[in-house]
Amino acid sequence: MAPLRITYAALCYISLFMELATTLTQIGDLSRSEQPPTWPSTFSVNFHEENWVWIIPLARNAGAWHYDFANKRMRYDHLQGQFDNFCHGRGLDLKDSRGDCHLLFNATDMFVHYPGEQKCCRACGVAEGCTVLKPNWLAGGTYLGTETINGTVCHGWETDGAAATDRWYQTEDGTPCRYAETIKFWPHSTHNITFHMSSYSRDPIPNSVFHVPAYCNVRCPSPWRPLSALQPSIRVTT
């Protein structure tokens, strides 16, 4: 058998191949990190919320999200000082429309609840797109790169909703950092929810958190009626 000879050109090809393989591996790892995330089926997290028009602050308030997709339920708390567009304008007789407001979702309905005044009504349902957000609601979203939020490096994605452009940021391990939206028909307004990462929990959530009071069994005097061009960014299908 003739001895195996490796020419200089062959060595160059081998070296080039190994570099290419390494590069492709790095790209593969990067592309996996860029893939839009899927939410866990259950989590809770507290946040700080801000609404702005131009440079004018409309609201700064605290809040919380409670999410339980396995049981098709969700709760968004917008606390004292809130200017949430689902809480406001529903026609409830309130002493303070900017008081604590809870948005309660079940499999078919969304309720606007002011617990401090014990006022509540059904605002909308599946027909209007008011349903529990799917864990993969970011599927097909565009990767925005990283941003440092409160000292933590977070990955961001953007997705195009019917009425808003939604942006979601989370850490490498899936801890929420920020949610932000820009309303298409009101481009000078901004809505930011910055999460308190230390409050993030994936523990089971007590049923009492999602309890809908008996006095919620009425339709809102001014229910949420989205036009085809003005549907809420939370719109998903179940």
Which CATH number does the domain housing residue 109 bear?
Answer: 2.50.20.30
* Contact indicator for 76, 103 with CB cutoff of 8 Å: yes
Does any domain span residue 151?
yes
Does any domain span residue 102?
yes
Does any domain span residue 175?
yes
How far from 227 is each of 100, 114, 129, 182, 217, CA to CA, in Å?
27, 25, 11, 18, 25
Does any domain span residue 95?
yes
Q: What percent of the chain shows pLDDT beyond 90?
A: 66
CA 35 – CA 141 distance, rounded (Å): 8
DSSP strand pairing (164-170 vs 152-160) = antiparallel
Three-state SS at 80: coil
Does any domain span residue 35?
no
- What range does the domain containing 133 cover? 68-216
- 84: phi > 0 → left, psi -120 to 50 → alpha, else beta; which? beta
Does any domain span residue 8?
no
How many domains are contained in the chain? 1
pTM: 0.81
Q: What percent of the chain shows pLDDT beyond 70?
A: 79
Question: For the segment 66-99, what is each residue's pLDDT rounded down to a tens digit?
Answer: 999 999 999 999 999 999 989 999 999 999 999 9
What integer pLDDT is reported at residue 141 of this predicted model? 95
Structure-token pair, residue 143:
């990767």
* Contact indicator for 184, 165 with CB cutoff of 8 Å: yes
Does any domain span residue 11?
no
Question: For the segment 31-74, what is each residue's pLDDT rounded down to a tens digit?
Answer: 567 999 999 999 999 999 998 888 788 899 999 999 999 999 99
Question: For the segment 187-230, what is each residue's pLDDT rounded down to a tens digit?
Answer: 677 899 999 999 999 999 999 999 999 999 999 999 988 754 34
